[in-house]
Amino acid sequence: MSSEKTTFEVIDNALSKKDFDEIKTTMMHHSFPWHVVRHVASEDDLIGDIFYMTHVFYESYTPKSQYLDLLRPLLKKIKPSALLRIKANFYPNQNDFVEHGMHIDHESSLGAILYLNNNNGYTKLKNENVKIESKENRLLLFDSSQMHCSTNCTDDFARLNINVNYYL
């Protein structure tokens, strides 16, 4: 992607209401498995008691979750030729707003983030100098080999999204 043109796209109402609601309801159910992580981008992100939780659907060219089929509508939307990783993020409201460290996901890959709820968190794209607000059923398509960062939120119980790293 050229640095002279926009390297991201935002699609609101990206999935059908039915497909989106199924994903959101499943992932917000008490039985959905989340795993605690203490840092987001690197060990340098360790800030007091701040943490987040993840669920890895797919990694290293291998399915890692029994819930991978749930994401078929999302994958149909972005049409990847190859997947690198699919990871859900659950950033709990910890009363302090935190912008995590800048990072890249993978060299020369694309990224798609599906936001699962409305909140005051965002994704910041450094090269574009823009913040993409977390809005339910919003899809951000971007160059994930470029520096970017995430945040938690303070106006809802958590900020939830699904991050897909892929090639076209």
Rounded CA separation 50/93 (Å): 9
CB-hemisphere CA count at 13 Å for 167? 7
Q: Which residues contact 150 (CB under 8 A, 6 or more apart)?
A: 40, 89, 91, 99, 100, 121, 122, 123, 124
**Residue 73: its H or E element:** helix 72-78
Q: What is the mean predicted confidence (pLDDT) over 160-167?
A: 97
What is the pLDDT of the chain when averaged over all its residues?
91
Residue 47 in this model has a pLDDT that exceeds 90: no
> What percentage of the chain has pLDDT greater than the value 70?
90
Whether residue 150 contacts residue 121, with contact meaning beta carbons closer than 8 Å, is answered with: yes
pLDDT at 101: 86
Q: Does pLDDT of 50 surpass 70?
A: yes
Whether 31 has a pLDDT exceeding 60, the answer reads yes
Whole-prediction pTM: 0.92
Q: Average pLDDT in the 111-122 region?
A: 98
Residue 124 has pLDDT above 50, yes or no: yes
Mean pLDDT is lowest, of 22-26, 96-100, 162-166, for: 96-100
Tokens of 32: 């959905």
Answer with the residue of higher pLDDT: 68 or 37: 68
Q: Residue type for 110, please?
A: L
Written as six digits, the tokens of 37 are: 């992580």
CA-to-CA distance for 49 and 144, rounded, in angstroms? 27
* 63-84: pLDDT as tens digits: 999 999 999 999 999 999 999 9
> What domains sit in the chain, N to C, each tagged with a CATH number?
20-45+52-167 (2.60.120.10)
